[in-house]
Amino acid sequence: MTMKIMTLNTHSLSEENGLEKLNKVAKFILENDVDVIALQEVNQSINADSVMAPSSYRGCHQLKSDNYALALSSYLEDYQWNWMPIKIGFDKFDEGLAIFSKTPIVSTEEFVLTNTDDYYNWKKRAALAIESNGVWIYTVHFGWWDDEDEPFVHQWETLMNHVQDKKNVYIAGDFNAPDDRRKESYDYILKNGWIDTRTLAKEVKGKETIPGKIAGWDQEEKGMRIDYIMSNKKRLIKSHQVIFDQDRVSDHYGIILEEAI
């Protein structure tokens, strides 16, 4: 048996031809039979109409009509899912996180990672997790290593306080942590005993997860690797692949791994 986990910063409702790109994401998930999907920058318009949640929704937050995860769920009929808003994005979105699971969601968890819990503070960060099939999977969107107000270390240590007693954990998402910068976020994670699943994979395809200059990395001219799926233990990873790097669906590329279980 295998388990497939995918992560993607969707940059949703900010992309041109957004519905077409959402269709591509849904098609990829279905064609590749992905088990768990961790998503970031999962947005809904603050002025959109509120709607009833479908039965597949395992969250408690109010959904709006243009919620990206809600739209995706209409394609993923066999999946359960959760979504949480974190903050106001670009003055017009409820910006949040989402997770989809093909196996039933047993438990969920959500909490703030930053010092600030101000919904109108763009530096606010949070984590959303589900337990399914004996595994805890967290979707995250961290801030930057050297942020004076909200440093990465505090966000990471807050997360660790929640996962330290769990035996089987993946952390997936946008870490804003280039893997070639020494003594910063990436090195700190590895120093704390976490494993970059790309280093465990028998088959590896692709590396960079952003093409260069994007919001938050305005001075970068070359591609960087800042999105990861981290594990708290060694695993038999059959493959680790960068996806949507050719047929773009976001300002980030995605990642998919396959674990032998």
How large is the average pLDDT for residues 184-207? 98
Whether the Cβ atoms of residue 96 and residue 84 lie closer than 8 Å to each other: yes
**Confidence class for position 245, pLDDT limits 50, 70, 90:** very high
The rounded Cα 227 to chain-centroid distance in angstroms is: 8
Largest CA distance in the chain: 47
Q: Which amino acid is at 85?
A: P
What the block records as the tokens of 75 is 């394609």
| Amino acid at the residue 16 | E
Tokens of 3: 């388990």
By the 10 Å C-beta count (0-12 exposed, 13-18 middle, 19+ buried), 147 is classed as middle
Cα 28 to Cα 15, 25, 108, 151, 207: the distances in Å are 18, 5, 25, 35, 19
Asked if 66 contacts 44 with a C-beta cutoff of 8 angstroms, the reply is yes
Reading the block at residue 140, the tokens are: 């995250």
The reported pLDDT for the residue numbered 120 is 98
> How confident is the model over 87-140, as pLDDT tens digits?
999 999 999 999 999 999 999 999 999 999 999 999 999 999 999 999 999 999
Write down all domains in the chain, each with its CATH number in brackets: 2-260 (3.60.10.10)
> Is the four-CA dihedral 52, 54, 58, 64 of positive or negative sign?
negative
Cα 14 from Cα 11, distance rounded (Å): 6
Q: Return the pLDDT at 258.
A: 99
Q: How far apart are CA 95 and CA 89, in angstroms?
A: 5
Q: What is the mean pLDDT of the chain?
A: 96
